[in-house]
Amino acid sequence: MPEATGTTASTTIRWDRDDAGIVTLTFDDPDQSANTMNAAFQSSLTAVADRLEAEKDEVRGVIMTSAKKTFFAGGDLRLLIRARPENAREVFDSGMRIKRDLRRIETLGVPVVAAVNGAALGGGLEIALACHHRIALDVRGSKIGCPEATLGLLPAGGGVTRTVRLLGITDALLNVLLQGRQYHPAQAKEIGLVHEVVRTPEEMFAAARAFIDANPSSQQPWDVEGYTIPGGTPAHPKFAENLPAFPANLKKQTGGAPYPAQRNIVAAAVEGAQVDFETAQVIEARYFVELACGQISTNMIQAFFFDLQAVNAGRSRPDGVAERKVGKVAVLGAGMMGAGIAYACARAGIDVVLKDVSREAAEKGKAYSARLLEKALARGRTTQEKRDALLARITPTADPRDVAGCDAVIEAVFEDPALKHQVFQEIQHLVAPDALLCSNTSTLPITGLAEGVERQRDFIGLHFFSPVDKMPLVEIVKGRRTGDEALARAFDLVRQIRKTPIVVNDSRGFFTSRVIGHFLNEGVALLAEGVDPATVEQAAAQAGYPAKVLSLMDELTLTLPRRIRDETRQALRAEGKDLPPHPADTVLDRMVEEFGRTGRSGGAGFYDYDENGRRAGLWPGLREHFTKEGGTGIPFADMKERMLFAEALDTVRLLEEGVLTTVADANIGSLMGIGFPAWTGGVLQYINGYEGGLPGFVARARELGERYGERFAVPALLEEKAAKGETFTD
């Protein structure tokens, strides 16, 4: 780091000028763990731009870097979540101020280098893009990209304007802007976002100085006379050829669901490419303000920032239990889930004993990890050394005695309570005397399963999602006799394997399996009422669900919901209650019993499948047997909202029943576990953000109830909150 010869320019940006006239600007917000574009930063940036202009003759070059672990975190989401149409002008002005200050620095006439020492996401990358040269330090967690689209926003610190000029409209949209992808430094270099990747801070600063020495009068490419956008502007014949495909691509990406960010990003990029730089910045700002002041960005920021933070901070983890790490885990059952769980644990450095009924079956489970690692190797995401180490951690076996010394057990055998009891009995005295005992059951109540072990307080549900290596969520299920210590340890284990934990109390289907069942049933109910199957699928897509409803049902099998339904009915009858019939029931029964169509794994379901198991189109028999000729008269808006409401209303019931205890768990669980549409910000935030707020939601639920049945009845808790003017918050 150069020696300081100047004075501090401001509170969040440190100014150091060395004897050679190189100014190092170090971002270092004293009040936060990461730098953001908050008010303090904005005034600091203006002060820095003023000073650079004033002392320009003594400045030979500028290096921007950060004193934090990350380079720069981006926009201040605490401010942005409060943006409303009433303060649109203020949002516009503050955005324009940052743009103007960065532009002043960019056009100063001296070389400006970004020494990107860690993650540069959103505003961080935008600052770097305003520099003439970008050097990225390759350290753990250094991700580069513009994830604004994933928050319902667009990069408005010049991000759209500059990426379009740097990469061309097509690449800027597809690689950077529309999906908000985050890149490792090497990948960022490959797509042209950074110029150099280095391994040490020393190398980074040396490279920055070398650039300044070699390029005393740097300019951005777009400021050089005669510069044209790579691939052409929209007026260019080559680009014009591609332009008509954009709306279709966009629709494909969003399924026609309400994702206004993507629409505004395309508009800002295309319109901005046809005008000068300054006008493009204003266009970008206008499209940003429209998004920032709308409900969808509020929803998405709430979920992905505030709720996720609350979940990860361990709000549902009991206080006062010391953190413990697992050293060796026994995974019982090496089928689809067990194999995935073994991989996730081994990846986190935990030794795994992977047990199945035969050595062969256990080996097959281990081979799954080998396959994932081959793919990662081929893509340069791991090294041979790491691959070997990970595989060496997994010991396949059929011998129960091999679980000796394990301090945690995760059971993933068939969904059969008697078998689950049996496998726990077999190992409970062989593992460590205080080992944590977890079951990955997706439907069976944990309290009942716990009765099969002696230490019921150490027994807990750890519900993973398939495919385990990709799905970020784990639903922790606390049985009636589960102790706080076990809950805390389960929470720590989930964090140890770098997944996101939500915590729920025991109930049949817990939160996720129960709520997703309502989505599936509602889709099938529409079919039962005579709606054309393609329209049912379209309704799910346009509501924003990542998977269409009938195709998802095929994946999960049509036999599973029937089994759950029958078991639930039996259990309720034992308590003197009953399960009311659902309009989906007859379709499911006929599909399985009359037509022998059980889903993808059975080779035929709502869809036909070819000999390779690939979906070949909706089964024509659906129209023949179920579709009402001449239409049903059910409005399309009702079809979409029936699925969303069915899930949301049952989530409120789960809160009432005490199965869910926090709003953050519900929102994050619904987004990360069961594909509730991202634009809603999660299942309870959907209710908060509904037109007319909670009273608006209640009125609409009543309307649906009158038209479609009791299952849309409004739970008392929702009614109460609506009457009191409250929302669902923790």
- Site string (144-163) toward ligand NAI, x via CB under 6 A: --------------------
Torsions phi, psi for 26 (to 5 deg): -110, 115
CB of 344 to ligand NAI, least distance (A): 13
CB of 381 to ligand NAI, least distance (A): 24
Strand, coil or helix: 16: strand
Comparing CB distances to ligand NAI, the nearer of 464 and 712 is: 464
CB of 418 to ligand NAI, least distance (A): 11
Tell me how crowded residue 671 is: count the other CB atoms within 10 A of its CB. Answer: 25
- In a 10 Å sphere around its CB, with 0-12 CB exposed, 13-18 middle and 19+ buried, how is residue 418 labelled? exposed
* Pair of tokens at residue 574: 């034992």
Question: Of 55, 58, 148, 624, which one is the catalytic site residue?
Answer: 148
CB of 224 to ligand NAI, least distance (A): 55
Given 357, 572, 637, 723, the residue binding ligand NAI (CB under 6 A): 357
Distance in angstroms (rounded) separating the CA atoms of residues 96 and 231: 28
Q: Does 505 participate in binding ligand NAI (rule CB under 6 A)? A: no
Given 346, 406, 413, 526, the residue binding ligand NAI (CB under 6 A): 413
Q: Does 466 participate in binding ligand NAI (rule CB under 6 A)? A: yes
The span of 142-150, 333-341, 369-377, 526-534 binding ligand NAI (CB under 6 A) equals: 333-341
Task: Give the number of C-alpha atoms closer than 13 A to the C-alpha of residue 280, restricted to the C-beta side.
Answer: 24
Given 232, 333, 452, 605, the residue binding ligand NAI (CB under 6 A): 333
CB of 503 to ligand NAI, least distance (A): 17
Q: Does 452 participate in binding ligand NAI (rule CB under 6 A)? A: no
CB of 617 to ligand NAI, least distance (A): 24
Question: Of 106, 126, 522, 529, which one is the catalytic site residue?
Answer: 126
List of long-range contacts for 525-529, beta carbons under 8 Å, 24+ apart: 525/582, 525/583, 525/584, 525/587, 525/642, 525/708, 526/634, 526/639, 526/642, 527/584, 527/587, 527/622, 527/626, 528/583, 528/584, 528/586, 528/587, 528/626, 529/583, 529/628, 529/632, 529/634
- CA of 486: how far to CAs of 320, 344, 403, 435, 618, in Å? 12, 20, 19, 9, 46
Distance in angstroms (rounded) separating the CA atoms of residues 361 and 505: 33
Comparing CB distances to ligand NAI, the nearer of 419 and 716 is: 419
CB of 370 to ligand NAI, least distance (A): 17
Spatial contact of 46 and 39, defined as CB atoms under 8 Å apart = no
Q: Does 110 participate in binding ligand NAI (rule CB under 6 A)? A: no
Given 441, 447, 496, 542, the residue binding ligand NAI (CB under 6 A): 441
The span of 181-189, 190-198, 241-249, 463-471 binding ligand NAI (CB under 6 A) equals: 463-471
Distance in angstroms (rounded) separating the CA atoms of residues 673 and 474: 8
Comparing CB distances to ligand NAI, the nearer of 157 and 396 is: 396
End-to-end CA gap in the chain: 44
Comparing CB distances to ligand NAI, the nearer of 257 and 504 is: 504
- In a 10 Å sphere around its CB, with 0-12 CB exposed, 13-18 middle and 19+ buried, how is residue 513 labelled? buried
148 is catalytic: yes
Torsions phi, psi for 570 (to 5 deg): -60, -45
**Between residue 334 and residue 353, which ones bind ligand NAI under the rule CB under 6 A?**
334-338
Assess whether the previous peptide bond of 318 is cis (omega < 30° from 0): no
Binding residues for ligand NAI, rule CB under 6 A, total: 24
Given 102, 285, 332, 540, the residue binding ligand NAI (CB under 6 A): 332
**Between residue 415 and residue 434, which ones bind ligand NAI under the rule CB under 6 A?**
415, 419, 423
Measuring CA to CA, which residue among 157, 147, 156, 153 is closest to residue 182?
147
Measuring CA to CA, which residue among 256, 237, 236 is closest to residue 247?
256
Distance in angstroms (rounded) separating the CA atoms of residues 172 and 188: 12
CB of 511 to ligand NAI, least distance (A): 13
Q: Does 442 participate in binding ligand NAI (rule CB under 6 A)? A: yes
Q: Does 564 participate in binding ligand NAI (rule CB under 6 A)? A: no
Given 14, 209, 355, 600, the residue binding ligand NAI (CB under 6 A): 355
The span of 35-43, 159-167, 411-419, 661-669 binding ligand NAI (CB under 6 A) equals: 411-419
Which residue has the closest beta carbon to ligand NAI?
335
Strand, coil or helix: 460: strand
656 is catalytic: no
- Chain centre distance of CA 270: 28
Comparing CB distances to ligand NAI, the nearer of 130 and 337 is: 337
Measuring CA to CA, which residue among 506, 507, 504, 481 is closest to residue 491?
504
Measuring CA to CA, which residue among 245, 283, 582 is closest to residue 253?
245
* Pair of tokens at residue 50: 């003023």
Given 464, 609, 619, 708, the residue binding ligand NAI (CB under 6 A): 464
Comparing CB distances to ligand NAI, the nearer of 137 and 431 is: 431
Q: Which residues are catalytic?
A: 126, 148
- The footprint of ligand NAI (CB under 6 A) covers 332-338, 355-357, 361, 412-415, 419, 423, 440-442, 463-466
